[in-house]
Amino acid sequence: MARKKRGRKLDAILLLDKPEGLSSNHALQRVKRLFDAQKAGHTGALDPIATGVLPICFGHATKASTFMLVFDKSYQAKIHLGETRTTGDREGETLDTVDISSLTVEQIQSVLAEFVGEQMQVPPMYSALKKDGKPLYEYARQGIEIERDARPITIYSLEFVSYEAPYLIIDVACSKGTYIRTLAEDIGSKLGVGAFIEDLRRTSVAGFEGDKIYTLDELEAMESKDDVLLPVDAALQDVPKIKLNTKESHKVRNGQVLDLGDYPSEDLIRMYDVDDQFIGVGEVKQSTLYIKRLMV
């Protein structure tokens, strides 16, 4: 006899304001217990020192997390100039310090402008990327340096907020796969003074910008927690939508492709039935609708 899953079946998304000092997985487990959910996952881990938007997906929403990972993100970063550290953030050991007394705002703004646009970035050793099934940070803690290939990223905007030595604050809008600690180190290197991340806050992800995000303390104090949950398709509002008739919906639910006739190709498309129920995500190629992921 199969074991009955603990918790309740819940299909939704929660926008968590991840606290500092907690790993994304620990934050996820606390939220899962708070909502007594059978199944939950997060999209795009934040380092323990980082705070901000961490979408928590329950039930069928975990199927949408794959698509959310490819969306753009925004951050506010507090960068410590004039010092480099082993981990690229304040938790590492100091490697070198440089006098920054002559550094000007004009110099900083000029360098920041150079980082806007498409570029190649080498992922940091202190990251969750894996080599032979083991995260790079585990090698780094053993003093082992692994060669990493540079990867294409895009910095859409990099705005100067303030500078009060040694702290530079910037707002960054970037593509998936961008490491802000590496960006900070590269900025410091370009300035010739070195740098590391002092504080980092993710301000938006997967189109969730301006939406209310909730702290663990706020959630624990709520009587009706479900009121703050978002529907499964909330993260895909920028993806084109198609409404299928009853026959088409039946075919899609059974894994069949659809001939849409003269329909423009789309990378991704949201599929709904006649009752406007979200069915899943598809992809249109040469007027044929292929199923990427069903949400029912």
Q: What is the pLDDT of residues 193-219, one digit of tens each?
A: 999 999 999 999 877 877 799 999 999
Global pTM reads 0.90
Tell me the catalytic residues: 47
- Domain 239-294 -> CATH class: mainly beta
Q: Summarize the confidence of residues 85-100 as an average pLDDT.
A: 95
Q: What local confidence, expressed as pLDDT, does residue 248 receive?
A: 94
- Torsion, Cα of 19, 25, 29, 32 (10° steps): 90
CA-to-CA separations, 55 to 27, 52, 238, in angstroms, rounded = 11, 10, 16
Q: Is pLDDT above 90 for 43?
A: no
Domain positions in the chain: 12-70+207-234, 73-204, 239-294
Reply yes or no on whether the pLDDT at 3 is more than 70: no
DSSP letter at 38 equals S
Q: What is the per-residue pLDDT for 4?
A: 62
Architecture of domain 12-70+207-234: 2-Layer Sandwich (3.30)
Comparing 30-39, 61-70, 229-238, the range with the smallest average pLDDT is 61-70
Measured distance CA(67)–CA(278) in Å, rounded: 15
Beta strands in 59-150 (DSSP E): 73-81, 83-85, 94-97, 117-121, 130-131, 134-135
- How many residues are present in the chain? 296
1 pLDDT more than 60: no
Here the tokens at position 73 are 């993100």
Place of tokens 């999209």: 43
- Mean pLDDT (whole number) for 94-98: 96
Give the pLDDT score at 69.
75
pLDDT for 63 equals 86
Instruction: Return the H-helix or E-strand segment holding 183.
Output: helix 180-191
Q: What's the pLDDT score for residue 28?
A: 95
Q: What is the pLDDT of residues 249-278, one digit of tens each?
A: 999 999 999 998 888 888 889 999 999 999
Determine contact, residues 229/13, Cβ cutoff 8 Å: yes
Fold match, 12-70+207-234 / 73-204: yes
Task: Tell me the two tokens of residue 165.
Answer: 């030595």
For 105-161, the pLDDT digits (tens) are: 999 999 999 999 999 999 998 887 888 888 888 888 888 888 999 999 999 999 999
Instruction: Classify the C-alpha dihedral 128-131-134-138 as positive or negative.
Output: negative
Percent of the chain predicted with pLDDT > 70: 98
Q: What is the DSSP string of 222-282?
A: -S-GGGG-B-GGGGGTTS-EEE--HHHHHHHHTT--EE-SS---EEEEEEE-TT--EEEEE
In this structure, the strands spanning 167-174 and 195-205 are unpaired
Helix axis angle, 180-191 relative to 105-114, nearest 10°? 130
- For residue 68, which of 284, 281, 289 has the smallest C-alpha distance? 281
CB-CB contact of 89 with 50 (8 Å): no
Q: What is the mean pLDDT of residues 40-45?
A: 87
Predicted pLDDT of residue 221: 95
Instruction: Determine the CATH number of domain 73-204.
Output: 3.30.2350.10
